[in-house]
Structure 1
Amino acid sequence: MRVLVVEDHRELADTLAGGLRREGMAVDVAYDGAQALQRTSVNRYEVVVLDRDLPALHGDEVCRTLMTERYPARVLMLTAAATIEDKVDGLSSGADDYLPKPFAFAELVARVRALARRAQPAVPPILVHGELRLDPGHRLAMRNGRRLELSPKEFAVLELLLTAQGRVVSAEELLERAWDEAADPFTATVKVTISRLRRKLGDPPLVETIPHAGYRL
């Protein structure tokens, strides 16, 4: 899952991004509305966590622009104002959900995951492929009843392969959706992550390489 955090308070933005990365998400950060629209113009996000009270370009305007451009991400709007009028204004500008500050980080994570599910074709809460089970909500992966100790990136790649339901997923798509914009597209990072994931999944092998196309389960 790839997420954009838009928040002008840099310390808060970096804290939120770090916490979401620990939850296995790929996260980019923008510190104002103009940066947010620049990021969305070149990257595909499932969820945009958007502070409403941004300098230069207000969060409502960012939201309206994304809606006008039919940008596919879901928007979770954050604001220090918690009146009904503020909530209505935020949702009317195109936000999919609304979270007043201060908030519990666990609630933010839950709402981001819920919006990400709405941004994709419907999938079950527990992903199953033969003896392999993946519970994204609890960050739990098991095969034959044995818990798999996966890194956040390995977990994210496995989740993408499972949700593809047999479709071949290219290395470019994996890089775009499981890594943030700091990732070097010319490195072998996807190949290395797939190799480590294969070792941890054990035998018989589950991840198939399709030459010149990508990977699938």
Structure 2
Amino acid sequence: AKKCQIILLKPTSMNAIYHHIQTIGQIFKQVEKAQKCISDIQTQLHLISEKVSEIPENKRKRVARLMGRDSLMTPGINSFQNEYIRAAGGIPHSIDKKGQIIPVTLAEWKNFNPQMIYGCGGDRYLEDTLFQKSGWKDVDAIKQGNIHYFPCELTCRASTQTAYFVTWLSATLYPELFQEKAKKIYPEKIFQTQDVDLSLSFVRTAKIAFSHVNDLVCKTLMIDFKHPQY
């Protein structure tokens, strides 16, 4: 019987993402597309790095990734999720515990005093339970209602969507960097189009237009009909 080689790809850092994309590109003989994917991620991350570089260290916000159900948990100091926070311009915790998920004591929580908290869908439970208790609720993020939730597919995975999530997180942390005209890096215009084959008799052409809006990439489906549609 022929033996089948099994390859397990489980990136634990942002750099590992690039290596795994290259590996997949080699396996499926799509090396150029894999490199293009890596380049796109790096370009977007560089943009965010440029935007947040003007924020002084003492003005950067402390950010906590919320995890857990019955007790407060967070990614360990060596987790890629803390890399996401730093890439977005935030300050992650410095609790000296390693692992994908670690427990957080009340003393550690109060000492870090996060200014923003984020999690994914199921993490809302703690907001309704633990964060109603004295001590746990007495941090800046909770006092100011600065708690946000994102799709688990973005928060919990080191993937090709890394740059999208870092951008979203950064824009949530520092909306003024993306809203103020003087802070914009890219002009707001279409910079690329991609044809789409809809194979519909009433459609002349269709394409996706890529443009920058507040330095974020916006995709618009543009359809040219052969006749007016009512």
Compute the TM-score of the two structures, normalised by the length of structure 1: 0.33
Q: Which has the larger radius of gyration?
A: 2
Compute the TM-score of the two structures, normalised by the length of structure 2: 0.32
